[in-house]
């Protein structure tokens, strides 16, 4: 699945390398969101015959259509900034447990919502790269990026060793000596 769920420092030797990395992460996220959406749809179809008249199922079905369009949960489904839980969860040493279908539905919604947020962040980074390309910084730049969960959050511009910038700071002197008779 996604192999970039870490915090790391990565060097990119061109904006094109950085752009390709971001575009690859966007493609991975979109594929994963699609996979989870299909899983969610399949689960809901399987549960429809048992639970179609229950209020929670009607609410989830409406949310599923909204999530497929690329959005997360609707604002009306949030209470005081906190999302309305579908299932009853039990905390055991910091891990939340649930043994029902509603729990599985809830974690799929949470994952899809988080992936869509990540796609938004990556899209903003891609737009920032477009802006950097317009600045024409040159080819002697290394882009050192702080990458958190696959999203470059900070970028340091470093000059490659041996570039003309380093050459500007070299010391050159000519000495002349007078020969004494």
User: What does the pLDDT read at residue 144?
Assistant: 93
pLDDT of residue 133: 86
Q: 3-class DSSP state for residue 151?
A: strand
Q: What angle do CA 147, 151, 153 make, to 5 degrees?
A: 65
Contact yes or no for 158/141 (Cβ under 8 A): yes
Tokens of 80: 């005081």
For the chain (181 residues), the mean pLDDT of every run of 10, in chain order, is 71 92 95 93 80 60 57 44 63 86 87 94 95 83 91 90 50 61 62
Residues forming beta bridges with residue 69, ordered by sequence position: none
User: CA 103 → CA 17, 52, 57, 119, distances in Å?
Assistant: 40, 17, 12, 24
What is the pLDDT, as a whole number, of residue 166?
43
What pairs with residue 83 in β-bridges? Answer: 78
pLDDT value for 143: 92
In angstroms, the CA 61 to CA 86 distance is 12
DSSP 70: T
Q: What is the pTM of this model?
A: 0.70
Residue 10: what pLDDT? Answer: 92
């Amino acid at each position: 699945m996604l192999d970039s769920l870490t915090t790391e420092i990565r060097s990119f030797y061109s904006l094109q390398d950085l752009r390709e990395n971001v575009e690859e992460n966007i493609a991975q996220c979109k594929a994963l969101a699609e996979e989870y959406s299909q899983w969610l749809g399949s689960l809901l179809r399987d549960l429809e015959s048992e639970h179609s008249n229950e209020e929670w199922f009607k609410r989830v079905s409406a949310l599923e259509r909204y999530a497929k369009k690329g959005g997360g949960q609707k604002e009306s489904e949030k209470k005081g900034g906190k999302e309305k839980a579908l299932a009853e969860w039990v905390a055991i040493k910091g891990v939340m447990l649930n043994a029902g279908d509603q729990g599985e539905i809830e974690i799929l919604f949470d994952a899809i919502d988080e992936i869509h947020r990540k796609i938004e962040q990556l899209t903003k980074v891609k737009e920032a790269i477009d802006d950097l390309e317009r600045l024409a910084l040159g080819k002697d730049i290394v882009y050192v990026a702080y990458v958190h969960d696959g999203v470059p959050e900070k970028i340091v511009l470093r000059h490659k060793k041996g570039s003309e910038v380093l050459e500007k700071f070299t010391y050159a002197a000519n000495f002349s000596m007078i020969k004494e008779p």
